[in-house]
Amino acid sequence: MKKFILALGLAFALQQSAMAGFAEGATAYNNKNYAVALKEIAPLAKAGNADAQHLLGLMYYMGRGVKQDYKQALSWHRKAALQGKADAQYVVGAMYYTGNAVIQDHKQAVGWFRKAAEQGHPDAQQVMGLMYRYQMAGMPQDNVIAYMLWNLAAAKGSVNAAEQRSAVVKHMTQEQLEEGQALSAAWKPNTPLPTKSRTGGG
């Protein structure tokens, strides 16, 4: 029992020091001190810290503190995405959508965008809304689901989503609007998003 408690204590101490290292790395990154950021972040990313993996992925994506390398960016973002990091899932989705460092695959893109959107990621929700509104990436046309997604993203401060929502309302019936409002009011983060509405199919 003592060994178990000790192991838990050690794990907690490691986690605390990892978070401290990440905070220092993130601060250095925000202050454009990329060499210090890399020194703090890289070991944490290699040790499996999803936040560090995401930040290291961004550094490779932007070429900050390292030579720009989209393949490395994708690799680190994917590691973080598989651990459930919504920001990383969004980036992986975007890279699959555009075919950046990977063979373009809209089905994969939609899958990653949906994972992020279901965690309440506003940019992912905004992009998914566009896909439903304009039948992009093989998605069905559904103004109600688009409205719902933009409603959720706008509530989190997405200006683009608020503008798209205002535009789509002009093409919706009162019944569709009511369904979109009801769907967004009922949805909770970390639960599946509906894939089709009752009234909004094109």
What does the pLDDT look like over 174-199, one tens digit per residue? 999 999 999 999 999 999 999 999 99
Residue 67 C-alpha from the chain's centroid: 24
Q: Is residue 202 domain-shared with residue 109, that is, in the same domain?
A: yes
Contact yes or no for 60/68 (Cβ under 8 A) = yes
- Sequence-distant (≥ 6) Cβ neighbours of residue 124 within 8 angstroms: 86, 89, 90, 93, 113, 114, 116, 117
The parent domain of residue 43 ranges over 1-83
Could you count the other beta carbons within 10 Å of the beta carbon of residue 162? 16
Least Cα distance to 114 among 194, 169, 168 occurs for 194
Phi-psi map region of 49: left, alpha, beta (phi>0 left; psi -120 to 50 alpha): beta
Mean pLDDT for 145-156 is 97
Q: Is residue 111 domain-shared with residue 173, that is, in the same domain?
A: yes
What does the pLDDT look like over 96-128, one tens digit per residue? 999 999 999 999 999 999 999 999 999 999 999
Task: Quote the CA–CA distance of 174 and 1 in Å, as a whole number.
Answer: 63
pTM: 0.87
Query: Residue 17 burial by CB count (10 A; 0-12/13-18/19+): exposed, middle or buried?
Result: exposed
Residue 88 lies in a domain: no
Residue 89 lies in a domain: no
Secondary structure (3-state) at 173 = coil
pLDDT band at 5 (very low <50, low <70, confident <90, very high): very low
Q: How many domains does the chain have?
A: 2
Residue 48 belongs to a domain with what CATH number?
A: 1.25.40
Q: Where are the alpha helices (H) located in 47-194, listed in sequence order?
A: 50-62, 70-82, 86-98, 106-117, 122-134, 143-155, 159-169, 174-186
Q: Is residue 122 domain-shared with residue 196, that is, in the same domain?
A: yes
Mean pLDDT of the chain: 89
pLDDT exceeding 90 applies to what percent of the chain?
84
Q: Is residue 133 domain-shared with residue 200, that is, in the same domain?
A: yes
